Every structure is written in C-alpha cells, then in structure tokens.
Amino acid sequence: MKRATCLLSIFLLIGSYPAATQTQSHPVWKPAHFRNLVVGQSTTRQIIAELGRPKYVGKEDDTLTPMWTYEVQEPFPGFLYVYPLRGRLKGLTLGLKSSVGKDEVVRLYGTRYHIVRYDFDDCLGRGGTAPVYQSPNGQIERMEFPESGISVSLNGNQV
C-alpha cells in the first residue's frame, strides 16, 4: 500500500509539471481583431460593411491568394491587406507607410509578447515563397502577441 501511494504521488507530481511548462512555451493563439472584424469568423459582407469597398481587389503575387486592399490610418497609417476565403476573413496584414518603433507597438498592444526567430526552408520553396520554421538563429525576427492574434515583423527596434 505504501508503494502504491508513493507511485501515485510521484505520478501526480510528474503529471503536473508538463502542463505548466507547456502553457508557458506554447501559448494559445486567439483570432486577431480589427475594428469589429474577427479573423476566421467575420464574413465578407461584414468586411464590406465595416471597411467599405476595397481600393484594390486581386491576388497576392507569390501565392495567388485572394486579397482586398484598404488604406487605413489605424492602428498605424498604411495599407490593410484583407484575405477572404470561402466567404470568411482568413487573415489580415498591415503594410506600414513608414516604420514604427517597437516601443509604439508595446504601448498599443501591451507587454505580453514573445520574441521569436524564424528562418526560411529553401528546400520547399516555390519561386518567390518559401515556408518558414522556428529557429533560434533565424534571420526573421517577430514580436508575437498570441492573446491578441498579432505577429509583428521586426528589424532591430523598428517594425
């Protein structure tokens, strides 16, 4: 009986550690929001109701993904690239008109972010695109806000 109690205690202790570690190293990503739009949930009708008619409708050069372009002033001045897929908002990308400091992003989105580095997998690339993978010495540096669904490209202290 003593042995069974001891094994159970060790199992419970061992079983409790990976969950805590896993939560810290692999944060749960939530869908990004822009105004009243939510990635994965908002419909194309809601996109048009919220943003109006796009300035440009076409496809991304490299991936041929459908893309709508809007000029926006928030959260920073630039071009908002909206990716609709099968009647829903698949994703958003903001192309800035001018660089923004990392501190401005922290002021806007908070301090709950991780700096993550990625590199290109050139073996699997097709023309102008290549998949990326997480790499401690990767050439791509990103500031990630998983709770907000936001990932920001960094170049030193500039976005």
Same domain, 128 and 155: yes
Q: What is the pLDDT of residue 3?
A: 41
pLDDT for 78-107, tens place per residue? 999 999 999 999 999 999 999 999 999 999
pLDDT for 111-159, tens place per residue? 999 999 999 887 765 556 678 899 999 999 999 999 999 999 998 888 8
Same domain, 123 and 93: no
Please name the helix (run of DSSP H) or strand (run of DSSP E) that holds residue 46, with its range, or none.
helix 44-51
Q: What is the pLDDT of residue 45?
A: 96
Please identify, among 81, 98, 115, the residue that sits at the C-terminal boundary of a domain: 98
Q: What is the mean pLDDT of residues 60-76?
A: 92
Q: What is the pLDDT of residue 136?
A: 92
Separation between Cα atoms, residue 14 and residue 87, nearest integer Å: 46
- Residue 24 maps to a domain: no
Task: For 33-51, give one letter per residue: b (16+ CB within 10 A) or e.
Answer: ebeebbbeebebeebeeeb
Helix (H/G/I), strand (E/B), else coil: 132: strand
Question: Under 8 Å CB-to-CB from 46, ≥6 apart: which residues?
Answer: 36, 37, 89
Q: What are phi and psi of 135, to 5 degrees?
A: -145, 130
Domain containing 82: what range?
29-98
pLDDT for 10-40, tens place per residue? 333 333 334 433 345 677 999 999 999 999 9
Same domain, 105 and 120: yes
Residue listed under structure tokens 């998949």:
131
- Residue 9 maps to a domain: no
Q: What is the pLDDT of residue 122?
A: 75
- Residue 12 maps to a domain: no
> Which token pair is 11?
């199992």
Count of domains forming the chain? 2
Q: What is the pLDDT of residue 4?
A: 37
Predicted TM-score (pTM) of the model is: 0.76
